[in-house]
C-alpha cells in the first residue's frame, strides 16, 4: 500500500488536523514512505487497537485508531476510567509522532571517532544487526570471564518499556551486581523515608474521603507518577467540598487548582511542618490513641539516642505503675510523655524526644525561616486539627473504619533535596500526629511492615561492592540505586574504595549525562568505558557511545505493562504492537534474549526471569526460545489467569479493592498486637547506622566523608538543621534560590524534544522553557519579560529567556528541567531552551542517595 504525504498527514489524526501544522509536517513526509511496507502487513480498513501508553510513568489505557495500517489518532480507553485514567495528556495524545518520527534510530551504529565529548562528532557508520550483536557479545564475554561486576547496566524509562524484571534477570544471569535505575533523580528519598518509618514504600492519599488535602510539591496536573488518577481524584474531591492547600515556592498547575497557595521558601519544608507539629502538640490536638497503638512514640529512649530494651531485646515503655514493661505487653498502660530514671539512668519517651527537639519551632521561627506568616502557621494547625475529626469512624460498605479525612502528601517536592529523607519523615510524622495513616480520608500506606529489614541499621559496607555505592558507607540506606554516582566512581574507583575498574556500560532508554545535577561531570566516567546505548533517538548519552542499537517504540512492541494501582483499584495490562514503521527487527526484550542466548546464558536467564517475576502457575521453560509476544503471554496468564485473546482484545483487567484490603490489612496487621513492629516516629536505627559510619570511616581512614554532615543526616528525628542544605549554608554570595520543576509537554523522556506536534503545533511557549522570575525581582534586576538572562551558580552557568510572573516568591527563580538538548544527533528545533542541570549543585542525600535538584542558590544577571 502506498502512503502519500497527504495520507500520512491525515494519519496523524485529530491533533494534527486541528493545529494547522502542514509546513512542519512536511519534514516528516518520508516517514510515511518508510512505513508503507509495515502498513501493508496490517489488516485493511479501520480498526481500534487497545494498549497502554508509556510516554511517561502513568501507564494510561489507550486505544489507537488504525486506518489501513497507519495510526490515525490515540484516545483514552474509556473502559479504564473506573480504574485509573479518565483521559490522556498531550504526550499520550501525540505519541504516534514519536513512532513516525523521521529522526528515529533505524539501524545499529558503530563509532569510528575514538574521542568522546559534547562537541565530538562520533562519525557513526551503519552496521548490520549481526555485527552489532557480535561486537557486544564479544565485549560482554570478555568482561564476564574476568569480573562480571565490570559491566554496569543502566535503565531509566527502559524499566517501564520492558519491565524492571527483565534487566534484573539479565544481570543476575550475567553475574554483575551493577544494575542502576533512575529513582534517585525522581523520588527515591520519599521511598526511603517510608521504608525507614513503616517498612515499605508507596503511600497515596485517600482522596475519595479526604476533606483537607495538603500538597507539598506534588503536581499531578503536570507530572507525577499517579497524575492521571490524582488529577481527576482531586477535581472530584473539590466538587465534593474538599479543600486543597498547596505549599511550595512556585505557583504551579496544582496551586492553580488549589483553594490556597502558601508560597514557602525553598528547602525549608521541614521547619514549616515541624512548626505545625508543635502547634498540634501544644494545643493537645493529636491522636494519642494512634500514637500509642501503632507507633513507637511511648518507647523509652536514652541519652545515647537508643531505645531501652529488656533482656529479650524488646523495647520498653514506662507503665503508669512506675515500672517498665515490654512495648507490646497487653497489660501495659504506657506513658506517652515524660522523663524517667531507670537503673540510675534518665530515659524519656520517643514522643517526648520529639517534643523536646521541636521546642524552638515556634510560628515566629517558621516565619523567619520559611517566609510564611506566623499567623497562618497557627491557623493552619487549628484547621488541620478540626478537619481530622479525632476519634471518629466511618462506615463503608458496612465496615467501620477509622476516619481522619486529612492527608498531607508530597512527591518530588520534599524529596529532591540533600535532606530529602528527613523532609519526608517530617511529613510522615505530621500524618502520625493526626492519626491519618491507613484511615479513611488519610494517607494509605499499602503494605506496612512488609520489609522489616528496612527498619534495621545499615551495615555500611566498605569497600563497596557496587559502582553506585548503594548500601555502602557512602549511602547506607540507598535501596533504589544512586544513578548520579556511577560516573564519578567509574572515573576514579580508588577514591571510593571500589576494587575494580568498570569497563562496559549499557544504557537502556536512559539519558544520564543530561538528566543529573552538575551534569557535565557525568561525562568524565563515560569517556573511560566502552558504552552501548539502546534507544529510539540520538540522545546525549549516544555522544559517549561506542555502539548504538535502535529500539522499537511503545506502539511497536509487546510488554506485560506496569500499571498504577490506586486506593480503590488494581489492574494488570499489556502493551501490543500496532505498526513497525521502520521495520526494526528487535526491541528491548528480544535484544536481551538474543544476548543471553549468544552468551550461553539462556537457561540461567529463564531461571532468573521466573524468580524476578515471581511466576508460579505458568513459567518460562528452559531449552527453548521465546518471542516477545510469547513472553508477554506467559506473564499475562500467570498473573491474571485469563486467556491471552482477552488481553489482545481488552489490553487490561481490573478489580476494585474491598474495604478490608484498603484499610485493615496494612498497619492493622503489621503493627497492632504483641510481637508486631511499630511505625517509627523515632528512627532509632539511624543512630546505629551513623555509629557504623563512624566506625567504618575511622577503621579505613576514609577521607571523603564528612562525619558531621552524616551526623546531621542520620538524626533519629527531623530537625531544623535539615532546613539548611549545603548551598544554603555556603553560597552566601548567591542571593536567589533556584528550583526546578516538570512540564506536562516534556517530562520523563528526552525524545519529547523531537515531537514536532508538542514543540511546534501547540505554540511557541511549549517549544522552550524559561526562567520564572518574580515581577518585582525582575524589575529590581533590570530584566524585562522575554529578555535573555544568565543564571550563575557555584558549578556553572545557564542562559535563557525571562518570564516575569507574580506566581513565584521574590527570592526564588524556577526553570523546568527537560529542555536545552545538545546532542549532535538531534534536530535544531529540539535544542531550544535551557539545560538547567549543568548549573545545579549536587549534594546527594546521605541516607537515600537522592539527587538534590532543589537546593542550589544562584545569581541572575542580564545576558
Distance CA 385, CA 387 (A): 6
C-alpha cell of 451? 520489609
Q: Predicted confidence band at 42 (pLDDT cuts at 50, 70, 90)?
A: low
Query: Taking residues 138-158, what's their average pLDDT?
Result: 97
pLDDT value at position 297? 98
Q: How many CB atoms lie within 10 A of CB 43?
A: 9
Q: What is the mean pLDDT of residues 607-613?
A: 98
Strands, sheet with 406-410, edge to edge from the N-terminal-most edge strand:
260-262, 243-247, 212-216, 406-410
- What confidence score (pLDDT) does residue 18 get? 34
Average pLDDT of the residues of the chain = 93
Query: How many Å separate Cα 588 from the centre of its chain?
Result: 22
Q: Report the range of poorest mean pLDDT among 17-21, 218-222, 829-833.
A: 17-21
Burial of 575 (0-12, 13-18, 19+ CB in 10 A): buried
Give residue 44's pLDDT: 74
Rounded to a whole number of angstroms, the distance between the first and last alpha carbons of the chain is: 53
Pairing assessment for the beta strands 797-805 and 771-774 based on DSSP bridges? parallel
How many CA atoms lie less than 13 Å away from 803 in the CB half-sphere?
A: 15
Q: What pLDDT digit, counting tens, does each position of 107-144 carry?
A: 999 999 999 999 999 999 999 999 999 999 999 999 99
Q: Mean pLDDT throughout 148-165?
A: 94
State the average pLDDT over residues 694-701: 98
pLDDT of residue 10: 31
pLDDT category, 746, cuts 50, 70, 90?
Answer: confident
Residue 388 — very low, low, confident or very high, per pLDDT cuts 50/70/90? very high
Predicted local confidence at residue 759, as pLDDT: 83
539 phi, psi to nearest 5 deg: -70, 175
**How sure is the predictor about 25, in pLDDT bands with cuts at 50, 70 and 90?**
very low
- pLDDT value at residue 667: 97
534-579 residue pLDDT tens: 999 999 999 999 999 999 999 999 999 999 999 999 999 999 999 9
**What pLDDT, on a 0 to 100 scale, did the predictor assign at position 24?**
41
Please tell me the distance from the alpha carbon of residue 538 to that of residue 822, in angstroms, as a whole number.
10
Give the pLDDT confidence of 764-806 residue by residue, as tens digits: 888 899 999 999 999 999 999 999 999 999 999 999 999 999 9
For the segment 680-691, the average pLDDT, to the nearest whole number, is 98
Model confidence at 763, pLDDT cuts 50, 70, 90, reads: confident
Q: What's the rounded mean pLDDT across residues 713-734?
A: 98
pLDDT at 714 over 80: yes
Residue 43 has a pLDDT of: 62
C-alpha cell at 71: 495510526
Q: Is the pLDDT confidence value at 27 over 80?
A: no
How many whole angstroms separate alpha carbon 360 and alpha carbon 356? 9
pLDDT of 7 strictly over 80: no
Average confidence (pLDDT) over 260-289: 98
pLDDT of 744 reads 86
- Indicate the range of 22-36, 182-196, 476-490, 529-543 predicted with least confidence: 22-36
% of residues, the chain, pLDDT over 70: 95
Rounded alpha-carbon distances, angstroms, from residue 496 to 462, 472, 493: 9, 10, 6
Residue 3 has pLDDT above 90, yes or no: no
- CA–CA–CA angle 414, 420, 423 (5° rounding): 60
161-174 pLDDT per residue, tens: 998 999 999 999 99
pLDDT digits (tens, 9 = 90+) for 516-532: 999 999 999 999 999 99
Amino acid at each position: 500500500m502506498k502512503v502519500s504525504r497527504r495520507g500520512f498527514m491525515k494519519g496523524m489524526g485529530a491533533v494534527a488536523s486541528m493545529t494547522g501544522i502542514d509546513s512542519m509536517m512536511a519534514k516528516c513526509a518520508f516517514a510515511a514512505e518508510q512505513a508503507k511496507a509495515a502498513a501493508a502487513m496490517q489488516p485493511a480498513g479501520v480498526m481500534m487497537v487497545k494498549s497502554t501508553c508509556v510516554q511517561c510513568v502513568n501507564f494510561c489505557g489507550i486505544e489507537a485508531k488504525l486506518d489501513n495500517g497507519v495510526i490515525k489518532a490515540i484516545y483514552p480507553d474509556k473502559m479504564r476510567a473506573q480504574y485509573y485514567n479518565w483521559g490522556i495528556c498531550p504526550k499520550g495524545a501525540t505519541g504516534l509522532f514519536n513512532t513516525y518520527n523521521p529522526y528515529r534510530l533505524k539501524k545499529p551504529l558503530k563509532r569510528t571517532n575514538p574521542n568522546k565529548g559534547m562537541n565530538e562528532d562520533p562519525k557513526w557508520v551503519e552496521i548490520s544487526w549481526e555485527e552489532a550483536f557480535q561486537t557486544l557479545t564479544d565485549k560482554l564475554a570478555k568482561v564476564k570471564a574476568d569480573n562480571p561486576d565490570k559491566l554496569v547496566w543502566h535503565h531509566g524509562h527502559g524499566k517501564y518499556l520492558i519491565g524492571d524484571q527483565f534487566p534484573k534477570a539479565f544481570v543476575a544471569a550475567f553475574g554483575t551486581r551493577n544494575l542502576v535505575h533512575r529513582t534517585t533523580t525522581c523520588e527515591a528519598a520519599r521511598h526511603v523515608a517510608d521504608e525507614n518509618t513503616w517498612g515499605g514504600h508507596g503511600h497515596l492519599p485517600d482522596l475519595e474521603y479526604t476533606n483537607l488535602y495538603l500538597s507539598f510539591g506534588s503536581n499531578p496536573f503536570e507530572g507525577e507518577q499517579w497524575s492521571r488518577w490524582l488529577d481527576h481524584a482531586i477535581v472530584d474531591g473539590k466538587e465534593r467540598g474538599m479543600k486543597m492547600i498547596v505549599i511550595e515556592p512556585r505557583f504551579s498547575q496544582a496551586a492553580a487548582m488549589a483553594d490556597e497557595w502558601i508560597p514557602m521558601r525553598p528547602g525549608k519544608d521541614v521547619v514549616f511542618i515541624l512548626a505545625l507539629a508543635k502547634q498540634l502538640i501544644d494545643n493537645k490536638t493529636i491522636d494519642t490513641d494512634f500514637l500509642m497503638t501503632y507507633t513507637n512514640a511511648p518507647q523509652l529512649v536514652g541519652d545515647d539516642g537508643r531505645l531501652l530494651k529488656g533482656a529479650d531485646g524488646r523495647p520498653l515503655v514506662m507503665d503508669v505503675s512506675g515500672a517498665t514493661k515490654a512495648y507490646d505487653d497487653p497489660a501495659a498502660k504506657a506513658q506517652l510523655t515524660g522523663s524517667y530514671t531507670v537503673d540510675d539512668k534518665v530515659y524519656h519517651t520517643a514522643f517526648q524526644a520529639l517534643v523536646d527537639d521541636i521546642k524552638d519551632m515556634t510560628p515566629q521561627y517558621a516565619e523567619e525561616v520559611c517566609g510564611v506568616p506566623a499567623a497562618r502557621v497557627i491557623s493552619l494547625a487549628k484547621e488541620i486539627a478540626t478537619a481530622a475529626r479525632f476519634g471518629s469512624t466511618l462506615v463503608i460498605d458496612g465496615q467501620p473504619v477509622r476516619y481522619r479525612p486529612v492527608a498531607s502528601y508530597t512527591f518530588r517536592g520534599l524529596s529532591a533535596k540533600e535532606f530529602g529523607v528527613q523532609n519526608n519523615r517530617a511529613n510522615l510524622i505530621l500524618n502520625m500526629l493526626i492519626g491519618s495513616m491507613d484511615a479513611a480520608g488519610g494517607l494509605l500506606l499499602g503494605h506496612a511492615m512488609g520489609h522489616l529489614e528496612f527498619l534495621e541499621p545499615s551495615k555500611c559496607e566498605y569497600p563497596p561492592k557496587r559502582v553506585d555505592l548503594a548500601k555502602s558507607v557512602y549511602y547506607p540506606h540507598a535501596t533504589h540505586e544512586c544513578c548520579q554516582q556511577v560516573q564519578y566512581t567509574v572515573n576514579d574507583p580508588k577514591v571510593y574504595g571500589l576494587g575494580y575498574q568498570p569497563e562496559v556500560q549499557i544504557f537502556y532508554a536512559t539519558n544520564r549525562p543530561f538528566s543529573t545535577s552538575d551534569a557535565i561531570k557525568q561525562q568524565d566516567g563515560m569517556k573511560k568505558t566502552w558504552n552501548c546505548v539502546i534507544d529510539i533517538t540520538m540522545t546525549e548519552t549516544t555522544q559517549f557511545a561506542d555502539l548504538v542499537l535502535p529500539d522499537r517504540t511503545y506502539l511497536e512492541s509487546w510488554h506485560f505493562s506496569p500499571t498504577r494501582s490506586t486506593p480503590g483499584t488494581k489492574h494488570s495490562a499489556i502493551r501490543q504492537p500496532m505498526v513497525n514503521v521502520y521495520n526494526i527487527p528487535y526491541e528491548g526484550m528480544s535484544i536481551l534474549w538474543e544476548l543471553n542466548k549468544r552468551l550461553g546464558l539462556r537457561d540461567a536467564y529463564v531461571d532468573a526471569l521466573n524468580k524476578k517475576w515471581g511466576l508460579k502457575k505458568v513459567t518460562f521453560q528452559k531449552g527453548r526460545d521465546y518471542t516477545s509476544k510469547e513472553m508477554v503471554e506467559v506473564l499475562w496468564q500467570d498473573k491474571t489467569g485469563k486467556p491471552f485473546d482477552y488481553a489482545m482484545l481488552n489490553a487490561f483487567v481490573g478489580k476494585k479493592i474491598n474495604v478490608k484490603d484498603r484499610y485493615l490489612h496494612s498497619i492493622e496487621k503489621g503493627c497492632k498486637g504483641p510481637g508486631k513492629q511499630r511505625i517509627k516516629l523515632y528512627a532509632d536505627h539511624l543512630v546505629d547506622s551513623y555509629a557504623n559510619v563512624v566506625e567504618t570511616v575511622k577503621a579505613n581512614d576514609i577521607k571523603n566523608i564528612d562525619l558531621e554532615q552524616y551526623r546531621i543526616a542520620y538524626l533519629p528525628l527531623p530537625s531544623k538543621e535539615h532546613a539548611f542544605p549545603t548551598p544554603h549554608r555556603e553560597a552566601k554570595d548567591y542571593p536567589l534560590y533556584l528550583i526546578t520543576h516538570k512540564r506536562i509537554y516534556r517530562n520523563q523522556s528526552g525524545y519529547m524534544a523531537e515531537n514536532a506536534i508538542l514543540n511546534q503545533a501547540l505554540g511557541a511557549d511549549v517549544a522552550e522553557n524559561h526562567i520564572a522570575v518574580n515581577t518585582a525581582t525582575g524589575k529590581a534586576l533590570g530584566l524585562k519579560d522575554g529578555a535573555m538572562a544568565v543564571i550563575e551558580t557555584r558549578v556553572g552557568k545557564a542562559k535563557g529567556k525571562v518570564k516575569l510572573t507574580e506566581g513565584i516568591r521574590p527570592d526564588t527563580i524556577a526553570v523546568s528541567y527537560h529542555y536545552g538538548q545538545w546532542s549532535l544527533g538531534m534536530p535544531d528545533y529540539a535544542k531550544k531552551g535551557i539545560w538547567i542541570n549543568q548549573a545545579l549543585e549536587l549534594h546527594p542525600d546521605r541516607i537515600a542517595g537522592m539527587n538534590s535538584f532543589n537546593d542550589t542558590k544562584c545569581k541572575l544577571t542580564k545576558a
